Structure formats: structure tokens, C-alpha cells
Amino acid sequence: MSEIVIEVGKRHIREINEEIQEACKTGQPIRVIDTLSRHNLGVGLPDGADITFEGSVGYFCGGLNTGSTITVERNCGWALGEGMAKGHITVNGRAGMSAGAAMIGGTIHVKGDAGPRCGVAMKGGNIVVEGTIGYQSGFMAHSGKIIALGGAGESCADALWEGEVWVAGPVESVGVDVNVVEPTAEEVAEVDQILEPLGLVDNSRDWRKMISGQRLWYFEARDASAWLMI
């Protein structure tokens, strides 16, 4: 199938995104060139589109994605795939801060390192980072998995809800209220199922699975009567 090429350059971001949205309707693969690390490229993309950004992109690339397959050939800025519900984002380079912030579904795959607060407040889906994840990654993640093959920075998995952070490598420090557990074989198999389509399964990995210690979940009691006096 022939490819639609869209040139970014210095045009207004609205014009570029409208062109991308129109191109998505054709069902043809889309190649976006001359990206100049512009912010807000490919925001709110529909289900089923296939789009490649040639070069680096700025903030919010693939934000609120609803099912497109997005490839960034070099690096991306903050909040890659922010709030995305469905789809697959691959970054061949590195990702900046807050990759996958508040995402609710789909997969983000970063081949390099990801910056601080990777997967912050995520509500579902999976983030796979082949390199390391930065400071306070997984902060208040509600659901979903952050999988870092290279390692993690300080304050990892801080204040989790039901999200999980998996690290196969050194962790500089864990955040507050974290339980670091040995995963069971079944749990590792689940993670391998996520890694398998990415060609990243390696049975020799020494996993550290981080989940919430649940000490921050309860102020004092679940019982309403404890609150009546105040």
C-alpha cells in the first residue's frame, strides 16, 4: 500500500494534525517527516492508523491515542502517549519525562531510556522500556505494568495503587510504601507475554516486582464510625 507523506516543518500545529487525521481516514500508512521535535504531533489519533514520525518529536506525541500504531524513529519529549486508551507506540530512541502518563490502555515500547515519572498515574496498559526508567517512575500508578529491562532511578514505584513496576536491573532506590517481591513463575510468564511480541523475552532476567505496600491506602479505618467524631 502506498504511503502518505506529511511534512511538518514550521507550519501551524493545527494544520499538521488536521492533515494527519485526514490521512488516517485513508487507511494508508503515514510517514511524517521534518518533525523538528515539534510538540503535540499525532494527538488523539483514531483506531487503526499506522503512523511513523521520522526524527524526534516534542511533548505529548501520541497523546490520547485511541488505537493507532505509532512509531517514533528517534527521541521524544515529555508525556509520550499521555492518556492513551488503546494502540501501540514504539520509540526507537529515548523518551522524556512522564511517558505514558495517565494512560488507560495499549502499549508503549521505548527502546532507549525513559525519563522521570514514567507511567505516572497510569490507569492501565503496559509500558516496556529497554533501558532505564527515571526518578519516581510509576508514581501513583493505578493499574497496568511498567517494565524496565535496564534499571530504575530513585524513588521507584512511589505511592502505587494497583499498578506494578517490574525492573530487571539495578534500582537506585524504592519510593514510599513499596513492597519489593519475588514474582512467581506465572507472573513472569504474564510479563513474558507482553515482551514476546516485542522480541524481548530473556529467561535469564532477575526480576524485581514492585507493588504497593498499601500502607498509604487507608487513612485510619474503612469504617465510617471512626469518622463520626470529627
- Taking the complex as a whole, the smallest distance from the CB of residue 111 to other proteins amounts, in Å, to 21
Question: How far is it, in rounded angstroms, from Cα 26 to Cα 122?
Answer: 31
Q: Which residues contact 50 (CB under 8 A, 6 or more apart)?
A: 29, 30, 68, 69
Q: How far is CA 198 from CA 22, 87, 118, 220, 224, in A?
A: 29, 14, 19, 43, 47
- Taking the complex as a whole, the smallest distance from the CB of residue 129 to other proteins amounts, in Å, to 17
The verdict on 143 binding other proteins (CB under 8 A) reads: yes
Provide DSSP, 36-85: TT-SSTTTT--TT-EEEE-S-B-TTTTTT-EEEEEEESS-B-SSTTTT--
The verdict on 66 binding other proteins (CB under 8 A) reads: yes
Q: Which is nearer to other proteins, 36 or 189 (CB)?
A: 36
- Taking the complex as a whole, the smallest distance from the CB of residue 188 to other proteins amounts, in Å, to 24
Q: Which stretch binds other proteins (CB under 8 A): 62-70, 145-153, 165-173, 187-195?
A: 62-70
User: Which residues make up the interface to other proteins (CB under 8 A)?
Assistant: 13-14, 17, 39-40, 43-44, 58-60, 63-64, 66, 78-79, 82-83, 85, 98, 101-102, 104, 117, 120-121, 123-124, 139-140, 142-143, 161-162, 216-220, 222, 224, 227-230
